[in-house]
Structure 1
Amino acid sequence: MEIELTDGLERRAALHAALADPARLRIVDTLLVGDASPSELAGLLSMPSNLLTHHLKVLEGAGLVTRSKSEGDRRRSYLQIIRSALDVLQPGAPRPAARVLFVCTANSARSHLAAALWRQASEVPAVSAGTHPAAEIAPGAVAAAGRHHLALPRVRPQRVGDVRCDSDLVVTVCDRAHEEPGLGADLHWSIPDPVRAGTPEAFDRAFEELSRRVETFAPLLAAASTN
């Protein structure tokens, strides 16, 4: 299953280019919390008016900043951020997905934690499986879920072939599983195996990294329509 996350790529690149200057970032940061006239902005930033004019031209040309006439002194204008333009900086609109399948070798820790974290973050269903499933979920994974108040179903590890559907978006969270011939994952998250270390710290590190990855990726997927 191919994942396309490049909608509006040229537009995003143009916006990033417009923001690739510390002075312009300062202007955007200032205008995010309040509007200002050019003279007020120059004073707030201690920036020469000619330099401010240059940077505003770039930001306005990129569609990040607009001006509105004052309702009082019509000779005055106020600069405002076009907030919808900043939304475009996110990597693409959410893509429909039927289900996410998280895979590791034993299906005893990382894939189970990833699926449980995903269920908290997304309406897209999630399951997990292993290329060589263990007999049970690792006690360290159960303990880590408890420390982080994560609901982790106590189910028997499953084999990928018994779980996988053609419509699944497959995410490997284990280097060994990802490198197995024929698996054909859509995405790979290289998460060190906490079972090998066996310490609470190792499981917590895996949990935190999976949580970060899920938080980043979940907004990019939307539940596929059942119609």
Structure 2
Amino acid sequence: MLDPDVKDWISIGKDLAVATAAVVTMILGIYGVRTWKRDLVGKEVYSAARALVKESHLVSKGARKLRYPIRDHERKEFSEDEIKNLTGGEKWRISEISAYEMRKVEFSRRLDQYDQAKLDLRVLTGSRVYEGFLPFDRNLTECICRVNSYIDLLQDNSAGLYEESPEILAVQSLLYPSDNLDDEISQNLADSRESGELALLRYLHRSSIYG
């Protein structure tokens, strides 16, 4: 027969062991939840950063397309009455305006998706993500401003402008990208977009934009 005091100590020991096991289990559980949350957030940040890189490429291509000369298939089709009552120069100007306005609508949708991607990453990482893309955003705005300047000139009915007017050609030279995309605004777009991606490398688990 065990001494009653020994039995009490054994009972106390068992209770302590159970309590200790419960505390250890709780600590491990808390640690596990925190680790799971950290891993989950890391995956979300990676996905959001990856999406922003993709959208920055797409909106950059959209900005380039926005600035291209109007193609024949984009031109407005005129009714018989319009053909009779409008001069060739008037039809050309109306067609240019209509086509660029349509491009602006299309580009606006692409810009919205890019802005949403920035917001999604900001929710996870804070506002610093905007800082890396500010120069790129300014260059995107510059593209829109150049299109608007061209449209404003085309809408100036008092100027008597036509397709080969010096004023038209001067604004087009500022608007159109070069064939090799080595004009200033195209280069600024590419460089600033790349700088924005560089700011995201730590979220992408890369040390270089080249892989």
Could you say whether these structures have the same fold, taking a TM-score greater than 0.5 normalized by the shorter chain as the test?
no
Structure with more strand by fraction: 1
Higher relative contact order (CA 8 A, sep 6+): 2
- For normalisation by structure 2, the TM-score amounts to 0.24
Please state which structure has a larger fraction of its residues in helix: 2
Alignment TM-score, normalising by the size of structure 1? 0.23
Computing the radius of gyration over CA atoms, which structure comes out larger, 1 or 2? Answer: 2
